Chain A
């Protein structure tokens, strides 16, 4: 659909193309009585009323002896630049079909893109790894966070104190009587209910943080009513399993994470 400007000029032009017009005025004038009445002129006030007068349909071009429709473009004398420096070797010969080398040229292009993507993926992975690993603790910090204790140095019935992460760490070598007594404790008697087996990995070794759960004083070992620990600050009594038995403290003494790498050492942290 060609957008035709709706002017009187246009309608005049369209008249000479016989195919697409309807006449501006009817050819037969109506008569009223014996007088010849000129046709009423329609007012072309709106685009609709004008569109009734102008040509319809596509514009057509007529050709003939009198009309010249041909345009001659000056192209035969233009020199085409030589692009052979930019062409691939496979397509330099204009007499050879390019379809033969199409797959190898295409594969080469994709190979270049793929290799670049592989290198980019590798670089991106390393950048991400760098940032993520910078968030984790360094090796020296991790080494400081652990303590290795030789158990042979602690005689039976003794409680040794170590400094671990700025806090006192109790390692208690329990006697057989203590173990038997703690195993036999009635759980209904306890404030913070926990069986002795849940607090030790090996029965003879009790490892806990020497921080009273009341206000954080350091309890005294082998003291108090229950033979375990006694906090001098406000009088909390812990048994030989580190469980709160009497006094204001609400919870049992905390057990850190630890492992026994071999029979004679314990690694806390």
Chain B
């Protein structure tokens, strides 16, 4: 019943008016962007771990300071 009342509240507050529905979509897009970008960046880093510049940065930074 709480799920039903929650759904009812969501309908009354957000979905019922087109303006509030569109606003909710916009707000949701911002939140979704943050989460989705974070997850996809994490996945990219995980798949390419050991190959990225930030992983080998220490090696090169040490070599560069020796050359100078």
- In the complex, the answer to whether A121 meets B29 with C-beta atoms within 8 Å is yes
Complex CA gap A100/B8 in Å reads: 11
Chain B residues positioned under 8 Å from A101 (CB to CB): 4
Chain A residues positioned under 8 Å from B28 (CB to CB): 114-115, 118
- In the complex, the answer to whether B25 meets A114 with C-beta atoms within 8 Å is yes
B56 to chain A, nearest CB (A): 20
B17 to chain A, nearest CB (A): 12
Residue B32 CB within 8 A of the other chain:
yes
Residues 13-39 of chain B: 1 if any A CB is under 8 Å from the residue's CB, otherwise 0?
Answer: 011000001001110110011001000
Q: Which 5 A-B pairs have the closest CB atoms?
A: A107-B7, A103-B8, A110-B15, A121-B29, A104-B7
Pick the contact of B3: A100, A104, A115 (CB < 8 A). Answer: A104
Most buried by B among A100, A103, A115: A103
- In the complex, the answer to whether B11 meets A107 with C-beta atoms within 8 Å is yes
Chain B residues positioned under 8 Å from A122 (CB to CB): 29, 32-33, 36
A103-B4, A104-B3, A104-B4 in contact; A118/B32 too (CB < 8 A)? yes
- In the complex, the answer to whether B25 meets A121 with C-beta atoms within 8 Å is yes
- In the complex, the answer to whether B8 meets A114 with C-beta atoms within 8 Å is no
B9 to chain A, nearest CB (A): 9
Complex CA gap A100/B29 in Å reads: 31
Residue A106 CB within 8 A of the other chain:
yes
Count B interface residues, CB 8 Å.
18
Residue B43 CB within 8 A of the other chain:
no
Chain A residues positioned under 8 Å from B32 (CB to CB): 118-119, 122
Count A interface residues, CB 8 Å.
17
Closest-by-CB residue of A relative to B1 is: A100
Residue A183 CB within 8 A of the other chain:
no
Residues 27-55 of chain B: 1 if any A CB is under 8 Å from the residue's CB, otherwise 0?
Answer: 01100110010000000000000000000
Chain A residues positioned under 8 Å from B26 (CB to CB): 121
List CB contacts (< 8 Å) of A105-140 with chain B.
106-108, 110-111, 114-115, 117-119, 121-122, 125
Chain B residues positioned under 8 Å from A103 (CB to CB): 4-5, 7-8, 11
Complex CA gap A100/B4 in Å reads: 9
Chain B residues positioned under 8 Å from A121 (CB to CB): 25-26, 29
A56 to chain B, nearest CB (A): 50
Chain B residues positioned under 8 Å from A125 (CB to CB): 29, 33
Chain A residues positioned under 8 Å from B21 (CB to CB): 110, 114
- In the complex, the answer to whether A118 meets B15 with C-beta atoms within 8 Å is no
A121-B25, A121-B26, A122-B29 in contact; A114/B7 too (CB < 8 A)? no
Chain A residues positioned under 8 Å from B14 (CB to CB): 110, 114
For this complex, 6 residue pairs linking A to B, each with C-beta atoms less than 8 Å apart, are: A103-B5, A103-B8, A104-B4, A110-B14, A118-B28, A122-B33
Closest-by-CB residue of A relative to B28 is: A118
- In the complex, the answer to whether B15 meets A114 with C-beta atoms within 8 Å is yes
Besides the contacts A114-B14, A114-B24, A118-B29, what 9 more A-B pairs have beta carbons closer than 8 Å?
A: A103-B11, A107-B7, A107-B15, A110-B14, A114-B25, A117-B25, A118-B28, A121-B25, A122-B32
